[in-house]
Structures are given as C-alpha cells and as structure tokens.
Amino acid sequence: MSSIIKRLDKRTGITYVYESTSYWDKEKKQPRSKRVLIGKLDPDTGKVVPTDGRGKRRKERLQRESDAIPTKQGPVPALRTERVFYGATYLFDQIGEITGIQADLKTCFPDTYKQILSIAYYLILEDENPLYRFSKWAKLHRHPYGKDISSQRFSELFQSITEEQKMRFFRLQGERRSEKEYWAYDTTSISSYSETLRQVKYGKNKDGDHLPQINLAILFGEESSLPFYYRKLAGNIPDIKTIRELIRELDVLGYSKIKLVMDRGFCSTDNINALYKNHYKFLLGASTTLKYAKDFIREIGETKDHFEFYDNDFDLYVFSKTIAWDYEQQRPYKGDTIHEDRRMYLHLYYNPEKQVDDAKNFNRRMLQYREEILSGHRVPEHEKEYRKYFEIKETPKRGISVTYRQDKIDQAHERYGFFALLSNEVKDPITALKLYRMRDIAEKAFWNYKDRLNLRRTLTSSESSLEGKLFVEFVALIYLSYINKKMIDGQLYSKYTMHELLDELDVIECYLEPGKTPYQGEVLMKQEQLYRDLGVKPLLACLK
C-alpha cells in the first residue's frame, strides 16, 4: 500500500515529498514502510518538482553553502546578520600570520586547526574561565572556527591530537627560529588532582603546592621570547635529569647548530659533558661551590670590589677567565673512557647588596640547622649540611652538643655576593650576563601565564585528553609570549596590564551580513596605536 508524505526541513525551509510503501516484515513480524524521495514542494505553485533522489539533497546543501562563501578568502563567512566582537581576535589572526602559527597548524592539523585556534583565543581572552563557557564566548566573537564547540567535541579534539602531529609542529616552529639565537630551556610543575595519570608524582613543586604534579619542560627563543617545544615529564624527575632526553629529542627533530641557555638547576658534570659530546653551544648558570668557581673567587680575593672591575650598566663587579674543563666520555663500544681538556669561559659577578642578603640567609639556615639537631628533629635533606658545618656529639649524660666548624663557615663567607656563569662560546662576561638575564625575564613572564590559562592545577583524568589540552594551551602561550615581548619593547606595561590591553581591543565590533563584506565598528586613535605597538596593521574601515 502506497501513500504520499510531506516533510519540512527546518534548516532549509524546503518541503520534501516522499512516496511511502507499507509492507509486512516476516523476520521481525511487524509492519514496516519504505520511503522514496520523489521531489520537493514548490512553495508558490504547490506542485511537486521531480528529483532523481540520488544525492540531490546533499548537492543542494553544498551549493547553498558555496553560494554563501564570499569570493575573497578570510574568516568564516557570515550565515546570518549579527554584530560580534573582533578587535582582539583580529590581533590574534595577525600574530598567527606573523609567527607562522596558523600556517604550521594548518599543515599539521588540516581538519582541526581552526578549532585549535578558536580554543586558544578563548583561553587567552577568558582567563581562568572553564571550557564549558566557550559557547557563550563563541556567540559574541568572530573567531577562526566560527561555530560552537560542544563539551564532547572538546574531548574528541584533544584525544585526536597525536604525538606525530605535535612533533611536526615543533619542527616547523623551530625552523622559524634563527640559528644564531640562543634557546632558553626550563621546566615548571603543574599540580594535579588526578589519581589515574601515570606521570602524576610527588616532587619539588615550584608553586609550593602540596599536591602530586607533572612537570613541563619548555624550549623558547632567547631573542623572540617565543616558545616552540615542550615535553611532559613525570612529576618526580628533577631538572638535572632532563638534559639527555632533551638532547635526544632535539636530534630527532633535526635541529642543528643549537645554542642553549639554562639556569644552574641544570648544571652538573654529566650534563656539561653531554652538551660537549653533542657539540652544542651553551650558557649555563653555575653554583659558586663548583671547584673552578671557588678557586677563581680565592684568586680574586680582596680585589672583588676594586673600581677597575665595576660595570655601571649592571651595577656589578665583573670578572672572567678561560678555564680547561675536564671532559670525560665513556665509550662502551671500546670499553674505555676519554679524558680531555675542553675550553670554557667562567664569568663571575660580585654584588655587595647580594653579599649582605647571602650573609643573612646563611645565618638563618645555621640557626635552623642547629635547632633541628638539638631538638632531635633532624631533616634527612639537611644531613649533608649538618656534617659540613657542625661537630655533633652525643653522650648519655649531657645529651646532644653542637659546635660550629668555623673553617667551613669562613669558606662559605668567601662566596657571599658572587654568582657564576659558564659558557663554551660567549667570551665576554657582559654579553653573557645580558643573554642570561633575557632568559630570566622571559621565564618569569612565561610562567605567570599559568594563572591566565588555568595551568596551575589540572583536573583532566585521561592521558590522551591531557596531552591534547596541554598542546592547545601551549599554542595559546605562543600568542601570549608574543604580546608580552611587544609590551616590554614598547614599554606598554607602564600604561596597561596585559588584561587591560586586550580588553581595550576586544570591545571593537564587527558587523556581519550574509553576502556582504564585513564591516567593523569605530576604532579610536589609541586603539590604532596599540595595534602598531604590537607590530600589526590596524583594522581598516572595511574588512577584506
């Protein structure tokens, strides 16, 4: 038995006409029906316009979408008349082109790069807001994806990001860094409430949280201050143990002529030997307890504050010498060990104000250690210091007695006010200090972004979701690092916080109407100047 059925497609407003044939299904023992598309209803005449029914509906949908796309390329075309914010996301669009982020993401994630960019934009502008509020933000802003992303899609997107895609992105971004540029390397800790992630461990938490954590190792350009590589580590791995794996991955990525700058947490004999072995140039913060440094400090002696060594720009006394590093390399395949002298530059810096602070801090530690010993509440991590600075005796009648080892204390006094740098390339101590301080400025600003991107603590329980989310947040960090660098260079922090600057641009509106070129709202002169200060062209009256 046949009948005619009409169905309205609410998305398109088209009424489709079907021929429905009823029949009895012997296997399922129930009545069934089969529908065949025969045409669509003409709204003016009421007649049925025939169709062959083979993909016609899909072809018409694709044609409608094609008609709606403007001839000129740009962000997602308007499908309805609306007014949205575009000032800040336009800035991000331009930064994406300048840094190559957009092109590299498109190469590595051809199907999802727009979603990744939109989420990164949201994380920057809606600091500390959870991802489930993306829907509201997406309706109010013009952004690369142009549509909402559901909670389920977030999870699917994060899980779809593969290690191969990430490594390719790192390689492309690394190739954009100058070979003459030093690469700063550092780690940070991210606390986690998850009990299921394998790499969540208790370790030295740099934020002071008493929670298990994962560690994040980051590599970024010294001059550009832009990060381009990261790696997730177990939370209990100390900085000093990460260098060999970094060297291995840099080799996999195909980087050459590498120059690294690191703080003294990475300074060890094994690490320096590994850097020499792989022919890497480096600038490394070093402890003044290093034998080379202690010998040089004794050599400087009472001349440490002589005016001939004073540098007015840094308000420091500066010293430098060439030393012979005792290089050691084990060769398992030959069963021997190589011992050679390698040239290295040791730079020392003396600061009288630091000397006062060092003395106060040392005295406080000595009093703390003495109290721990006498109270019987010794701290295992302090045992080495106990033995170095105290003579400890214990008898049944008198109990515990402590005397100071003044010779060891005097040796510590010699190093007050000094700090050291080591390099196998940078000869000049002032150049070395400038490079090292640039790393310090970029590092401090970089880790402050953990607050803005909700990176202090993570609730993610899935390994694959965490990996994907960290990558998207890392993309957002590149944008923030670019803005921070421009704000420092343009002295914009004297007028704005980064939050205030982005808010100043975010209020600029954009008017969208199907089939017409988008138009922006009013742009003030100070907003135009902000775009220029940030290294991008101001918005034009008519968006191309």
Is the pLDDT at 168 greater than 90? The verdict is yes
Nearest to 155 by CA among 139, 134, 184: 134
Q: What is the pLDDT of residue 359?
A: 95
What type of residue is 471?
Answer: F
DSSP state letter for 479: H
- Written as six digits, the tokens of 285 are 């913060």
Nearest to 7 by CA among 31, 35, 32: 35
Q: How far apart are CA 352 and CA 370, in angstroms?
A: 27
Whether the CB-CB separation of 287 and 264 falls below 8 Å is answered with yes
DSSP state letter for 196: S
CA dist 166 to 105, 170, 218, 371, 518, Å? 9, 6, 14, 51, 34
Q: What is the pLDDT of residue 286?
A: 95
| Tens-digit pLDDT profile for residues 31-73 | 777 777 777 877 767 777 776 544 555 555 545 544 444 444 4
Q: What is the pLDDT of residue 519?
A: 74
Render 265-284 in DSSP notation, one character per residue.
GG--HHHHHHHHHTT-EEEE
Nearest to 11 by CA among 47, 50, 60, 51: 60
329-343, 452-466, 501-515: range with lowest mean pLDDT: 452-466
Render 387-441 in DSSP notation, one character per residue.
HHHEEEEEETTTEEEEEE-HHHHHHHHHTTTEEEEEESS---HHHHHHHHHHHHH
Render 139-189 in DSSP notation, one character per residue.
HHB--SS-S---HHHHHHHHHH--HHHHHHHHHHHHHTS-TTS-EEEEEEE
- Length of the chain as a residue count: 544
| Tens-digit pLDDT profile for residues 337-374 | 899 999 999 999 999 999 999 999 999 999 999 999 99
Asked whether the whole model's pTM tops 0.85, one would answer no
Percentage of the chain modeled with pLDDT above 90:
46
Which residues neighbour 411 within 8 Å (Cβ) at sequence distance 6 or greater? 294
Alpha helix (H) residue ranges in 54-140: 56-68, 87-99, 101-108, 113-125, 134-140
Q: What is the pLDDT of residue 233?
A: 72
Q: How far apart are CA 371 and CA 76, in angstroms?
A: 67
Is the pLDDT at 207 greater than 80? The verdict is no
Q: What is the pLDDT of residue 367?
A: 95
DSSP state letter for 376: T
| Tens-digit pLDDT profile for residues 178-193 | 666 788 888 776 654 4
Nearest to 93 by CA among 520, 525, 491: 520
Q: What is the mean pLDDT of residues 95-99?
A: 95
